[in-house]
A and B are shown apart, each in its own frame.
Chain A
Amino acid sequence: QSALTQSASVSGSPGQSITISCTGTSGDVGGYDFVSWYRHDPGEVPKLMIYEGIKRPSGVSSRFSGSKSGNTASLTVSGLQAEDEGDYYCCAYAGSSSWVFGGGTRLTVL
């Protein structure tokens, strides 16, 4: 059982926007500005999409954005494209040099 809670699945049509939520506690998501999001498709290496809650690494589309409110972090994908379909995971720093992950959300583009 993962420490952070994510909805199992989310879907949207091309061009629409979707939001994936990640709920933790004041000891992880709510306590630090170190939430990151990863896309991890089977057989591939995890790819960093968002770090420090809102920052995009070089090379990640501006259609991906992150936010946080209290103990819940969110990843928004705007202008959905078929290539966005995949599994997305949140991760949060939990203090004392440790990290926790969510169970993952499967994004389906209809």
Chain B
Amino acid sequence: QVQLVQSGAEVKKPGASVKISCEASGYSFGSFALHWLRQAPGQGPEWMGWINPGNGRTKYSQRLQDRVTITRDTASSTAYMELRSLRSEDTAIYYCATQLQTSAFDVWGLGTVVTVSS
């Protein structure tokens, strides 16, 4: 059974960093791109970036590239997303997703709620 299992909710203060994990199972982790997306309250989703788990190469959205880093651990089939210098506008549900059977985001994690508040 294909699954992306994300880490739990986080509450952070402005200026802090958050690191979220996404553990893949049921498929070959290294063979499919792993993306990170987020959706803030009342807004549409935002694509943040992706990693090729096979070789570790990454691509980030221009808007977030100075603050986001995506990494992976192939031994545990886990991808990580770190977002630095958090602001209240970063309060959102963060998702990992992959393109397993199509060219679109067809498998999603359940999401991780990140709240940034002083």
Report A's interface with B, CB cutoff 8 A. Answer: 2, 4, 6, 34, 36, 38, 40, 45-46, 48, 51-52, 55, 57-58, 89, 91, 96-104
In the complex, what's the smallest C-beta–C-beta distance from B2 to chain A, in angstroms?
13
- CA of A52 to CA of B109, assembled, Å: 22
Given A48-B102, A57-B101: A91 touches B45 (CB 8 Å cut-off)? yes
22 residue pairs bridging A and B, Cβ less than 8 Å apart = A4-B44, A34-B103, A36-B103, A38-B45, A40-B39, A40-B45, A45-B110, A45-B111, A46-B105, A48-B102, A51-B103, A51-B104, A51-B106, A52-B103, A57-B102, A91-B45, A91-B104, A91-B105, A101-B44, A101-B45, A101-B46, A101-B47
- CA of A57 to CA of B102, assembled, Å: 8
B76 at the interface (CB under 8 A from A): no
Contacts of B43 in A (CB 8 A): 2, 103
Question: Are A99 and B111 in touch, CB under 8 angstroms?
Answer: no
Interface flags, B46-62, vs A, CB<8A=1, else 0? 11001000000001011
Question: Are A102 and B110 in touch, CB under 8 angstroms?
Answer: no
Question: Are B111 and A51 in touch, CB under 8 angstroms?
Answer: no
Closest to B35 in A: A99
Question: Are B108 and A45 in touch, CB under 8 angstroms?
Answer: yes
Contacts of B44 in A (CB 8 A): 2, 4, 6, 89, 101-104
In the complex, what's the smallest C-beta–C-beta distance from B60 to chain A, in angstroms?
9
The count of A-to-B residue pairs whose CB atoms sit within 8 angstroms is 63
B94 at the interface (CB under 8 A from A): no
In the complex, what's the smallest C-beta–C-beta distance from A52 to chain B, in angstroms?
6
Contacts of B105 in A (CB 8 A): 36, 38, 46, 48, 91
Closest to B59 in A: A97
